[in-house]
Amino acid sequence: MKIRTGIFSGSFNPIHIGHLALANYLCEYGFLDEVWFLVTPHNPLKDETGLWDDDFRLELTQLAVGDYPKFKVSDFEFHLPRPSYTVHTLTTLKKAYPEHDFTLIIGSDNWEIFPQWFQPETIIEQFSILIYPRLGYPIDASSLPDSVQLVDAPIFDISSTEIRKALDEGKDVRYFLHPNVYQCICDKINNND
């Protein structure tokens, strides 16, 4: 039987407790056996301005995941041609790890723009997708293709953008981040002063 592996792909700029709690929910409530956090070098649909260094974001994600056995951090996309399109990543993962059954994890905000993705129909045909709710992006579950499932997960209305802004303003946002992540960011800020 194949391992049900969720692919949680993102810039994780930085990874926060919302990412971790959602992935934890998907594993512990029976949707997936494990979640791989794929740190992306650059999302073709996003502006690269404000994107922290690839290796630093990878380090923070590893610190956040720690020793929880159902989480894995991957730099898989760092080694693929750029721009990194999800369809290429999933197809390459499927070939490299045939013992895994990969499921893409995306927010309802991303589902709304999913037709703009590169070859979205291929992803829907060849992979399953779990959609988690985001405030302001309701989805009619009855309209979804068979390979796509809306998960009634808790909503964590936290954004990496807001966290970066708060850090720039000198706010103490330690409870939005894993303690090790917060400490590492603070150390970097203090060393750059």
Considering its fold, how many domains does the chain have in total?
1
Q: 171 lies in a domain?
A: no
Where in the sequence is the domain holding 64, given as residue range(s)?
3-157
Q: 53 lies in a domain?
A: yes
Using one digit for the tens of pLDDT, what is the confidence trace for 16-44?
A: 999 999 999 999 999 999 999 999 986 66
What SS3 class is residue 72? strand
Measured CA angle at 181 (ends 41, 74), to 5 deg: 35
Q: 139 lies in a domain?
A: yes
d(CA 15, CA 31): 21
Q: 187 lies in a domain?
A: no
For position 47, what pLDDT does the model report? 67
Q: 163 lies in a domain?
A: no
Q: Which strands sit side by side in the sheet containing 71-74, from one edge to the other?
A: 71-74, 34-39, 3-10, 100-107, 128-132, 148-150
CATH code (residue 89): 3.40.50.620
Residue the block writes with tokens 């809306």: 150
Using one digit for the tens of pLDDT, what is the confidence trace for 127-179?
A: 999 999 999 999 999 999 999 999 999 999 999 999 999 999 999 999 999 99
Q: 79 lies in a domain?
A: yes
Q: What pTM does this model have? A: 0.94
On whether the CB atoms of residues 10 and 34 are closer than 8 A, the answer is no
Q: 24 lies in a domain?
A: yes
Q: 192 lies in a domain?
A: no
